[in-house]
Structure 1
Amino acid sequence: MNMPDAPLTQDLVLVGGGHAHALVLRKWGMNPLPGARLTVINPGPTAPYTGMLPGHVAGHYSRDTLEIDLVRLCRFAGARLILAHATDIDRTARLITVEGQGPVAYDVASIDIGITASMSIPGFDEHAVGAKPLDVYAQRWRDFVAAAKDGSAEPTVAVIGGGVAGCELALAMSHALRQAGVEPNVTVIEAGLQISGVGDMARRKLLSVMAQAGITLRTDARVTGIEATQVLFDGQEAVAAALTVGAAGAFPHGWLSKTDLPLIDGFIETTPDLSIKGDPSVFAAGDCAAMPFAPRPKAGVFAVRAAPVLHHNLRAALTGGPRKTFKPQNHYLKLISLGGKSAMAEKFGVAFSGTLLWRWKDRIDRAFMDKLDHLPQMKPTKVPEVAALGTREMLQDKPLCGGCGAKVGGALLSDALSTLDTRANPQVVTGVGDDAAIIKLPGGRFQVLSTDHLRAMVHDPVQMTRIAAVHALGDIWAMGARPQVALSSLILPRMSPPLQARTLREITDTARAVFDAAGATLVGGHTTMGAELTIGFTVTGTRDTMPITIAGAQPGDVLLLTRPIGSGVMMAAHMQGIARGRDVAKTLTMMEQPQSQHADILRDAHAMTDVTGFGLAGHVLAMCKASGLHATLTHANIPIYEGARALSDAGVASSLLQANRENAPMAGIDDPLLHDPQTAGGLLAALPQAAAEIALKRLQDKGLQGWIIGSLQSGPPVVTLA
């Protein structure tokens, strides 16, 4: 007898995607703790690796090489990822406040949010950028290089802070600007009398390399203000700077000081097991933590070394087991980039430099990133030696997708519904075959009724609820109706009562917010426990005149689409752990967006539907059959989610793809993405050319998108892709 999945009983929340947490996620994915639900809160889908930042700034590494893909890492670890800033922690209620959504509950939490280099200098926030957070600085730097290259910005740079980080970045920026074909003017500004953070031998080598690169060192300098084109000083001449970078020391994130966390100079005070002083359920690691039991400088090497201890102690906190003590090394090797592909190494006061050291540093950095990028392949589902006919073949197929990729094929569904007869009820205007049933109300008004549910594609109940609600509302919007009432239908994985309460609160609050914004009322629903999270809604809407159907398209109409396609292949790749995190995050963000404004603009369309499980081709064909028309789609005009084309060309596909292709054959170009099942897909409207152009303008005026992707003509109901 197979053992059932362990019920969820404890919530572990990791705040921040720093190096220690990234390594914890990797180890967690290789050996998850039964009963623990893991959540990661981070503002972005990626986290830059500190060690490769100077190389990226110098132009030696691409953006992808530099970034830890937290989306893939969280998928591997089975963790939900909330892309938002944490702003507070209530240790009494065990709640973490998250920007843009409700609080997240925890039983055990860990904080690894790094530091910031933002400085309290007049004009800094307006005209400068801190070297940390790294992702913000890296983007600002890429934009500056492009501007310097095309002549729209002077190649003048000032770096505030003459420590290792400041000198390293100055050398990298000087090198990159020269590689871009411009002559740089870089100044390092140090408040002290000399470069700090290194010994005498390393300092002499750094000064020599900086002089060769033409970098000016300004010491004993007190910055009094920063303007758009210069840095101002007390008693010294201003320094020209079209870009000013703050790299003077490590500053804690401001929100920490507003909490009751124990702090030392703004950093979270930890004990030898990495939990915070006085609270064994909260941990901290990396640069945001202070270790009074073993004071050390802010360096990524300590976060990496702390990761195994942190992982062990988090599991111990969740299981009641014994904890380990973190004992950081007293001395560590410093490897400092020197702009070009050369580096300097320092330890015990001795320093060496050269290209061989760059290669060594490069090998160390790439090995670290490879560990987080090339994740171990987990064992596939074991296929039984003896099973009923057909079982082995189905188990060897690709995993079942979530969302609309898990739907039953269109042909099977049509056959199953073919026996339904709504003619006996005079109130039912249309039933099977359109987006929603249409019911005639007293007084000549109409009500539409639809239901949808989705097998979870992501681990976050909040994000999944938003997508499911928008998806369910799509049928109402597609018929030009105004949303009225919603009922939920939920299946929760087996979990303890406290986790049930937390999850239901998150789902209910999120659903209510989506439906309230759409003008509908969430009035209740039904909840059970089962094998996996499934979220669905039954929704009604009203319209004073006959709702829009798929049967009203006319010859000469054009087809207007409000959302890209490719979400099915993107989610399939995400479930396999091969999609880029940034692409997945962008796709999910689009899928969460309501389409009520789109629907209002298109409410006079001749025909309309929403593109969902049967793919663009299937929905266009359904409109053609209902309207008795032929469709010609313009391949180049069809919008596609970023990254979806490359994945499709590589053979990635949703589990529903083949059924969709068989259900809606097309003439012309063969493109699997036209059959890709969409979840919370765009509205597809048929309307006259002039009306479509007006609709596009109205969409653009509201900051929304739309594309004219084809046209309808008299002829047999066939879809041609040209």
Structure 2
Amino acid sequence: MQNSTSSDIPLTRDLVLIGGGHTHALVLRMMGMRPLPGLRITVINPGPTAPYTGMLPGHIAGDYTQDELEIDLIQLARFAGARVILGAADHIDPVAKTVHVTGHGVIAYDVASVDIGITSDLPKLPGFTDHAVPAKPLARYAAVWRDYLAAAQDAGHAGPVAVIGGGVAGVELALTMAHGLRQATGQADVTVLEAQDHLTGTSEATRKALSAKLDQAGVKVWSGAEIAEMTPEGPRLTNGAIVPAKLTIGAAGATPHPWLTKTALPLQDGFIKVGATLQVEGHEDLFASGDCAHLMHAPRPKAGVFAVRAAPVLRDNLEARLIGTALRRFEPQKNYLKLIALGGKSALAERWGRPISGPLLWRWKDRIDRTFMAQFKDLPVMEAPPAPKTAALGVADELSGGRPVCAGCGSKVGPGTLSAALQSLPRQAHKDVVQGAGDDAAVLQMGEVTQVISTDHLRAFSHDPALMARIAAVHALGDIWSMGARPQSALAQIILPRMSPTLQERTLKEVMAHAGAIFADAGAEVVGGHTTQGAEMTIGFTVTGTLAKGRQPIALSGARAGDALILTRPIGSGTLLAAEMQGRANGRHVAAMLRQMAEPQMVAAPLLAEAHAMTDVTGFGLAGHLKEICEASGTGAELWVKALPLYEGAEELAASGVTSTLFEANLTYAPVQNATGPRGMLLHDPQTAGGMLAAVAAEQADDILHRMAEAGVPARQIGTIVPGDQISCR
């Protein structure tokens, strides 16, 4: 299935989904199955994945892995043709129709929806922020628990655990944590603290059944427990007693996110008021669903079942506002089944106030949860468009790979083709041009000023123009930094896909704001540029830099036998991006890679100022760019394959046969002796905003690497320059 918007249909409306909750995840899947032409979708979420509430207790007990628990929003967004902004929304202006995202800025919308869930944070309880972990948001709690359990397993024992709240969530987590600890260490010390004189959130009959399960599991229940403060030793009660705890989890009820109170949104006890159509009261173009919403026409408890049932209605009503048709009502059911995990692959259910138990109940719950998650794990495969029945000779050969052309540096012309074209350029003697095509940047001499100039652009591999702008800016600056120059100025070249004037303005504001921030931090100024419309987004920059008086540019030709080869950034981005386009990459791996790619290298560049030769590793891959250094310097090189820094997930994908469309051309251009296996393949992987590859004096290498580490740069020595003309691996 191909879910990209056809290039001949202009983008005219922005839909922004704030939060990656269950309702929004289902809406994204439905929109991927039935795209709306002309629509641009944005998803805002703090992380690349969203944990599924129903499987969290099983994950805590050790029954489900992290991957089984999480909805991969990166994969889901790719399927839906949406962009993902990784950050937390902290303000919504329903009048201006904008959302502010921490660390990103303002996002405008035509229609938006909020599904940010709730929190179990207790900021008014002294010491809670420093000495406790809220059960919601789920992602942070799950990560803290994994670390705690791993440490307990390594040590062979665990400290006591306290759970604040004796409702269904608190009991469920207490039981599953006790089970997980017993599995890991053979013992568990868990206490539930409840302010009332009994467990809450269920009928009396269910409460008795849960109390019996807690007794059987050895979980202590401290009822009537009023907590005065949190301390490093555990919760201190109002009577002065301290409940010992190395880990305290807050699960005392549903609390709305505090930042909502600072908006102009209509709220009920902090939750967003919505009507029967899920529209926010007084704002026709803003919707809300899930636990963060309060259904004014049919109030219901905070339960995931309502979020799931609301998804088809929300999807239809979002589309109705976008195309101008009538909306439909959401009528939640009055009764629903509560399924409570007990640990040890056992469960208890409540229906109409009656507890239900039995050996098959866990299997039933497990089947429900796995069926829900299968919707996001088994997305339809994106297929390449069929080849034409009749075409010119050679078309079938070019299309035989059956893969879409990679973006970023993976879409470049092959290095052999480019080299042949450059050799055909006429050579003219010009007093200002010291060095023309052939190095990372041209060198110009104007009086006493030595200037370098280069240009680069990227075909978008992300639907996020802000992210693309940052990465394109870092990518273009790589040529300046690798020549040892100080960035000076930048001219933008931007191709936008067809879109309405309003979306053009929004997009260009994001592009220039985020690119401008990168250039400003690097000490350069954006001085202008050129824009046009085309089939797809492309962002590029022509950049200049200057060299300090008396300094020569760092060229490709200065490497010497015995030099250490230092690489400042991992490789594997081309493989990860190719897999992401195919829906095969892990979203956490992709997000971590993109975060690294968008980081400038102005910290690393000065530390390599004394390099004998240097280049940035981009489209030709590590082997191709190393070949250029070796050929220009008259040397060979030996690479230490095991020392290569790799982006997480790249080696596994390469082992499974995933490659960028530029891989074969790179392999032909720069063969490497003894390069085998997935790591050998990744030597030819095209990189975007890749690291700097420097040949430095061997005696300086350790000091440079030490200073790199202190500065937070993940640099490594990956080999040495050797006599001869071969590049080999060991």
Q: Identify the TM-score tier after normalising by the shorter chain.
A: over 0.9
1:495, CA displacement in angstroms? 0.5
Cα distance in 2 for partners of 1:235, 1:66 equals 40
Residue 672 of structure 1 is matched in structure 2 by 681
Aligned AA for 1:655?
Answer: T
Which of residues 402, 427, 435 in structure 2 aligns to 1:430?
A: 435
- Alignment partners' CA distance in 2, 1:401 and 1:712: 32
Counterparts in 2 of 1:217-296, with a 5 A limit? Answer: 217-235=221-239, 237-296=241-300
Cα deviation for residue 379 of structure 1 reads 4.6
Give the unaligned 5+ runs of structure 1.
Answer: none
Q: Which amino acid aligns with 1:425?
A: H
Verify the 8 A CA contact 2:119 2:136 in the aligned structure 1. Answer: yes
CA distance in 1, matches of 2:105, 2:138: 27
- State how 1:353-502 maps to structure 2 within 5 Å: 353-397=357-401, 398-443=403-448, 445-502=449-506
Q: How does 1:258-337 map to 2 (within 5 A)?
A: 258-337=262-341
Structure 1 residue 92 displacement after superposition: 2.0
TM-score, normalised via structure 2 length = 0.97
Distance 1:597 1:378 in 2: 40
Contact persistence 1:422–1:428 (CA under 8 A):
no
Number of the residue aligned with 1:621:
627
In the comparison of the two structures, how many residue pairs are matched? 719
> 2-side partners of 1:234 and 1:720: how far apart?
70
- Are 2:717 and 1:705 aligned? no
SS of 1:668's equivalent?
A: coil
Q: Which residue in the other structure is 1:696 paired with?
A: 705
- 1:70 and 2:78 aligned: no
Alignment partners' CA distance in 2, 1:328 and 1:392: 54
Give the Cα separation in 2 of the matches to 1:432 and 1:150.
57
Distance in 2 between the 1:602 and 1:234 partners? 60
Shift in Å at residue 392 of structure 1?
A: 2.7
Tell me, yes or no, if structure 1 residue 719 matches structure 2 residue 727.
yes
Please give the alpha-carbon distance, in whole angstroms, between the structure 1 residues aligned to 2:216 and 2:281.
48
Structure 1 residues 315 and 347, CA, compared in 2 at 3 Å: closer, same or farther?
A: same
1:90-124 superposed Cα distances (whole Å, 9 cap, x missing partner): 12221111111220000001000000001121111
Supply the distance in 2 between the matched residues of 1:380 and 1:587 (Cα, whole angstroms).
25
Q: 1:3 to 1:351 in 2, by over 3 A?
A: closer
Secondary structure of 1:594's counterpart equals coil
Alignment partner, residue 112 of structure 2: 109
In the alignment, structure 1 residue 181 sits paired with structure 2 residue 181: no
**Aligned-partner SS, 1:675:** coil
The equivalent residue for 1:651 is 657
Alignment partner, residue 609 of structure 2 = 603
Alpha-carbon deviation of 1:713? Answer: 1.6
Q: Secondary structure at the match of 1:364?
A: helix
Deviations 1:501-545 (A, max 9, x none): 000111111111111111111000000000000000000111132
For 1:230 and 1:396, the matched residues in 2 are separated by: 64
Question: Contact conserved, 1:381 with 1:395, CA < 8 A, in 2?
Answer: no
- Residue pair 1:562, 1:706 contacting (<8 A) in 2 also: yes
Give the Cα–Cα distance (whole angstroms) in 2 for the partners of residues 75 and 588 of structure 1: 15
1:195 & 1:102 partners in 2: Cα distance?
44
Q: Which position in structure 1 is the counterpart of 2:562?
A: 556
Aligned with residue 694 of structure 2, among 674, 685, 690: 685
Report the AA paired with residue 65 of structure 2. Answer: S
Question: Of 526, 529, 532, which aligns to 1:525?
Answer: 529
Which range moves more in the overlay, 231-240 or 535-544? 231-240
Match of 1:662?
Answer: 668
Query: Which amino acid in 2 is paired with 1:33?
Result: L
Contact 1:14 1:41 in 2 (8 A): yes
In the TM superposition, 1:8-27 aligns within 5 A as 8-27=11-30
Separation in structure 2 between the aligned mates of residue 238 and residue 100 of structure 1, nearest angstrom? 39
1:7 to 7, 10, 23: 10
* Aligned partner letter, 2:623: A
CA distance in structure 1 between the aligned counterparts of 2:447 and 2:219, rounded to whole angstroms: 81
The equivalent residue for 1:547 is 553
- Deviation, structure 1 residue 423: 3.7
**CA deviation after TM superposition for structure 1 residue 380, in Å:** 3.3
Which ranges of structure 2 fall in alignment gaps of 5 or more residues? none
Matched, 1:89 2:92: yes
Identity of aligned residues (%): 56
**What do residues 280-310 of structure 1 show as CA deviations (whole Å, max 9, x unaligned)?**
1000000000012111100001000000000
Greater Cα offset, 425-434 or 650-659: 425-434
Distance 1:448 1:105 in 2: 38
Change (3 A) 1:673 1:378: closer
Structure 1 residue identity aligned to 2:12: T
CA contact (8 A) 1:29 1:78 kept: yes
AA aligned to 1:27 is: M
Q: Which residue of structure 1 aligns with residue 83 of structure 2?
A: 80
Q: Could you tell me which of 635, 640, 644 is aligned with 1:634?
A: 640
Conserved 8 A contact 1:617-1:674 = yes
Task: Please say which of residues 526-535 and 683-692 is displaced more in the overlay.
Answer: 683-692
Deviation at 1:236, TM superposition (A): 6.8
Q: Deviations over 1:217-240 (max 9, x none)?
A: 111221111111221212374321
Name the counterpart of 1:352.
Answer: 356
Identify which of 341, 346, 362 aligns with 1:342. 346
Return the alpha-carbon distance in structure 2 between the equivalents of residues 469 and 157 of structure 1: 48
How far residue 546 of structure 1 moved from its aligned partner, in angstroms, is 1.7
Q: For structure 1, which segment, 220-229 or 127-136, has the greater mean C-alpha deviation from structure 2 after superposition?
A: 220-229
Per the alignment, in what secondary structure is the counterpart of residue 427 of structure 2? coil
Distance (whole Å) between structure 2 residues aligned to residue 515 and residue 357 of structure 1: 59
Kept in 2, the 8 Å contact 1:490–1:534? The answer is yes
Deviations 1:50-90 (A, max 9, x none): 00000000011111111110111111111110000111011
**Contact 1:18/1:112 (CA < 8 Å) preserved in 2?**
yes
CA distance in 2, matches of 1:597, 1:236: 52
Residue in structure 2 matching 1:53, options 47, 52, 56: 56
Please give the alpha-carbon distance, in whole angstroms, between the structure 1 residues aligned to 2:107 and 2:406: 27
- Judging changes above 3 Å, is the alpha-carbon distance between structure 1 residues 469 and 425 closer, same or farther for their aligned structure 2 residues? same
Amino acid across the alignment from 2:574:
G
Give the TM-score taking structure 1 as reference length.
Answer: 0.98
Superposed structure 1 runs of 4+ greater than 6 Å apart: none
Give RMSD over aligned pairs: 1.3
Q: Deviations over 1:4-37 (max 9, x none)?
A: 5310111000000000000000011111111111
* Cα drift, residue 153 of structure 1: 7.5
* CA distance, structure 2, for counterparts of residue 629 and residue 622 of structure 1: 10
Q: Any conservation in 2 of the 1:144–1:153 contact (CA below 8 Å)?
A: no
The one-letter amino acid paired with 1:316 is: A
Question: Does the aligned pair in 1 maintain the 2:7–2:497 contact within 8 Å?
Answer: no
Q: By how many angstroms is 1:362 displaced? A: 0.5
The answer to whether structure 1 residue 156 and structure 2 residue 165 are counterparts is: no
Cα distance in 1 between the residues matched to 2:595 and 2:579: 17
Q: Find the counterpart in structure 1 of residue 46 from structure 2.
A: 43
Shift of 1:638: 0.8
Partner of 1:612: 618
**Matching residue of 1:569:** 575
Matches for 1:190-201 after TM superposition, within 5 Å: 190-201=194-205
Q: Write the deviation string for residues 124-151 of structure 1: whole angstroms up to 9, x where unpaired.
A: 1110111100011111111222233344
